C-alpha cells in the first residue's frame, strides 16, 4: 500500500497552487490552474497501479510491453468542487469510468448531507480514485468513502488539493486503508471548518458563485 498521506511538493504544483490561493485570481484562471495541477496530481495518485504485459509488435520486433492490469479505473467526483479536479484527471486517464457523490455540508453542523450517488458497476474490481479539492473536517470525505465501500469498492485512493491536519487525522481513523494524495497540508481549520490559510470556498472560487 502507498503511504497514508503523500504531499506532492513538486515546484510546478506549488507555484500554481500559490496563484490559486491568491484572492485576486479570477475564476477562469483558477479553473485553468486547477486543471493543470490535476494532471500533475493524477500522475502521483496513479503511481504503483497494478501492471501486466501484453505481446505487441513494434516496427522492429515482437516484445512483451507493459500495460495497466485489470478493469478500467473509476474516478469519483465529490460534488460539486470535485468536478474541477475530475476534468484534469480525466484528460490523463480518458478511459476511466466516472461516478458522482453528491454531498453538501450543513453549515451549522458541518455534517455531510447526501443528495446524489451514481457510480460505475463492478466497483470491487476497480481502483477507485475519489476526488475533492478540499479535505477540511474530513466529514464529507469519510462519508463519501463509506458510501463507496458500501457500493463494493475495495481499493480506494483520495485525491485533493489542500488538506487540513484535522481532516487527514479523521480519514486515517475512519479509513486507514485509503491513501491520500494532496498538494498541501495547511495549518488548521477555522472555527467554521474552512482551511487556513486555504483558498476559500473551492466551489465558489471555481464557479464564481460568491
> What amino acid positions are annotated as catalytic residues?
105, 109, 201, 204
Verify binding: residue 163, ligand URA, rule CB under 6 A: no
Of residues 57 through 76, those in contact with ligand URA by CB under 6 A are none
Verify binding: residue 13, ligand URA, rule CB under 6 A: no
Query: Cβ closer to ligand URA: 46 or 140?
Result: 140
Verify binding: residue 101, ligand URA, rule CB under 6 A: no
The 8 Å CB, 24+ separation contacts for 111-117 are 111/139, 112/139, 112/140, 112/143, 112/144, 114/143, 114/147, 116/79, 117/147, 117/151
Three-class secondary structure assignment of 113-125: EEEEEECCCCHHH
Verify binding: residue 45, ligand URA, rule CB under 6 A: no
Q: Could you tell me which residues are beta bridge partners of residue 117?
A: 101
Segment interacting with ligand URA (CB under 6 A) among 71-79, 95-103, 120-128, 192-200: 192-200
In Å, how far from its chain's centre is CA 195? 16
Interface residues toward ligand URA, by CB under 6 A: 81, 134, 136, 194-195, 198, 201-203
Amino acid at each position: 500500500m502507498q503511504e497514508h498521506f503523500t504531499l506532492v511538493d513538486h515546484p510546478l504544483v506549488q507555484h500554481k497552487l500559490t496563484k490559486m490561493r491568491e484572492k485576486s485570481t479570477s475564476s477562469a484562471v483558477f479553473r485553468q490552474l486547477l486543471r493543470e495541477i490535476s494532471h500533475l496530481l493524477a500522475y502521483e495518485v496513479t503511481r504503483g497501479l497494478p501492471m501486466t504485459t501484453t505481446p505487441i509488435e513494434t516496427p522492429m520486433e515482437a516484445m512483451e510491453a507493459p500495460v495497466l492490469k485489470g478493469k478500467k479505473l473509476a474516478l469519483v467526483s465529490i460534488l460539486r468542487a470535485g468536478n474541477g479536479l475530475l476534468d484534469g484527471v480525466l484528460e490523463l486517464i480518458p478511459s476511466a469510468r466516472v461516478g458522482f457523490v453528491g454531498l453538501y455540508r450543513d453549515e451549522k453542523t458541518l455534517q455531510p448531507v447526501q443528495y446524489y450517488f451514481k457510480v460505475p458497476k463492478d466497483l470491487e474490481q476497480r481502483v477507485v480514485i475519489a476526488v475533492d479539492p478540499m479535505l477540511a473536517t474530513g466529514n464529507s470525505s469519510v462519508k463519501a468513502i463509506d458510501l463507496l465501500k458500501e457500493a463494493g469498492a475495495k481499493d480506494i485512493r483520495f485525491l485533493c488539493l489542500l488538506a487540513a491536519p484535522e481532516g487527514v487525522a479523521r480519514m486515517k481513523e475512519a479509513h486507514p486503508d485509503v491513501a491520500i494524495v494532496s498538494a498541501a497540508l495547511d495549518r488548521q481549520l477555522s472555527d467554521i471548518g474552512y482551511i487556513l490559510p486555504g483558498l476559500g470556498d473551492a466551489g465558489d472560487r471555481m464557479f464564481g458563485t460568491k
